[in-house]
């Protein structure tokens, strides 16, 4: 989160920026916060306010970087729309076609026509709830599950991920575990691509599970109800 690198907000953040040039603003931000990775800067229609997409979050500042508004929401008072959430959803969309789906467990239900990805930790209780209560009733979908153990929270999740990935039937091994708590024995001479998946997640800014990604690139973080997942699948199928 931005709290890790935001120390002071306000006058103490003042860094001279010669003009409204976005490159200069980017340089000023990264000079003040060396760990910050500025991905995009856009000028908003609100009185010289700039939107900065940095470290997977949106913050606001002016052209001189004389202040910074972090972890807040920009609301259009006329429409009552949460502009920050809308922009964050757009900026965080994933290029679905670029995902290495060969590194995921592929579960086909019905005709498999709709597609989605889930980043899941075998020991994550919310991941299990997602599978047992929400995804279980969704049909005509192909679900690609990336095994993404969060070692700090679940020390044995990596071992379980290896056992599931290396089972003769990965789909059965995954469903046996997540639905029934039955873990396959790890096959010798096999390793799951956990390092590659960890790099993929880091590149996408994914830090928690479950994380759902739909074919239009939209994300949903958490064990969302089946009705919301169905809606997201429908929207993705329409190309929204």
Nearest alpha-carbon partner for 146 in 216, 94, 198, 109: 198
Read off the pLDDT of residues 133-160 as tens digits, 9 standing for 90 and up. 999 999 999 999 999 999 899 999 999 9
Residues 127 and 210 in one domain: yes
Question: Are both 55 and 131 inside the same structural domain?
Answer: no
pLDDT in tens, 168-206: 999 999 999 999 999 998 777 788 999 999 999 999 989
Report pLDDT for 7. 34
CATH of the domain at 147: 3.40.30.10
Query: If you search the block for the tokens 């095994």, which residue do you land on?
Result: 147
Q: Are residues 226 and 121 in the same domain?
A: yes
Most trustworthy range by pLDDT among 4-8, 10-14, 192-196: 192-196
Do 27 and 85 sit in the same domain of this protein? yes
Q: Say yes or no: 206 and 219 in one domain.
A: yes
* Contacts of residue 96, Cβ cutoff 8 Å, sequence gap at least 6: 115, 117, 213, 214, 215, 216, 217
pLDDT at 240: 55
Taking residues 231-235, report their average pLDDT: 95
pTM of the model: 0.71
Which are the contacts of 93, defined by CB distance < 8 A and separation ≥ 6? 216, 217, 218, 219
Instruction: Identify the domain containing residue 216 by its residue range.
Output: 96-237
The pLDDT, as a whole number, for residue 4 is 42
- Mean pLDDT of the residues in the chain: 86
**Segment 13-51, tens digit of pLDDT:** 333 333 447 888 988 888 888 888 888 898 888 888 898
Three-class DSSP category at 104: coil
The domain boundary residue, chosen from 47, 68, 91: 91
Residue ending a domain, among 31, 57, 91, is 91
Contact assessment for residue 167 and residue 184, using Cβ atoms and an 8 Å cutoff: yes
Domain count, the chain: 2
User: Length of the chain, please?
Assistant: 240
CB within 8 Å of 110: residues ≥ 6 apart? 139, 140, 141
What is the radius of gyration, based on Cα positions, of the chain?
Answer: 21
- My answer on whether 78 and 186 are in the same domain is no
The band of 5, judged by pLDDT with boundaries at 50, 70 and 90, is very low
């Amino acid at each position: 989160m931005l709290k890790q690198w935001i120390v002071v907000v306000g006058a103490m953040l003042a860094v001279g920026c010669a003009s409204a040039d976005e490159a200069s603003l980017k340089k000023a931000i990264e000079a003040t916060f060396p760990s910050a990775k500025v991905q995009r800067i856009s000028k908003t229609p609100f009185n010289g306010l700039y939107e900065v997409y940095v470290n997977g979050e949106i913050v606001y500042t002016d052209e001189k970087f004389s202040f910074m508004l972090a972890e807040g929401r920009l609301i259009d008072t006329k429409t009552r729309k949460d502009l920050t959430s809308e922009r964050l959803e757009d900026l965080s969309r994933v290029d679905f076609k670029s995902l290495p789906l060969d590194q995921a467990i592929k579960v086909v239900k019905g005709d498999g026509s709709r597609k989605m990805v889930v980043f899941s930790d075998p020991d994550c209780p919310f991941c299990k709830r997602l599978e047992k209560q929400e995804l279980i009733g969704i049909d005509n979908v192909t679900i690609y599950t990336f095994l993404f153990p969060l070692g700090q929270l679940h020390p044995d999740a990596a071992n379980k991920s290896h056992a599931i990935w290396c089972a003769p039937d990965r789909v059965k091994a995954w469903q046996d575990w997540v639905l029934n708590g039955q873990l396959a024995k790890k096959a010798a001479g096999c390793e799951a691509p956990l390092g590659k998946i960890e790099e993929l997640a880091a590149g996408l800014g994914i830090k928690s599970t479950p994380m759902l990604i739909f074919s239009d690139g939209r994300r949903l973080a958490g064990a969302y109800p089946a009705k919301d997942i169905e809606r997201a699948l429908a929207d993705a199928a329409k190309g929204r």
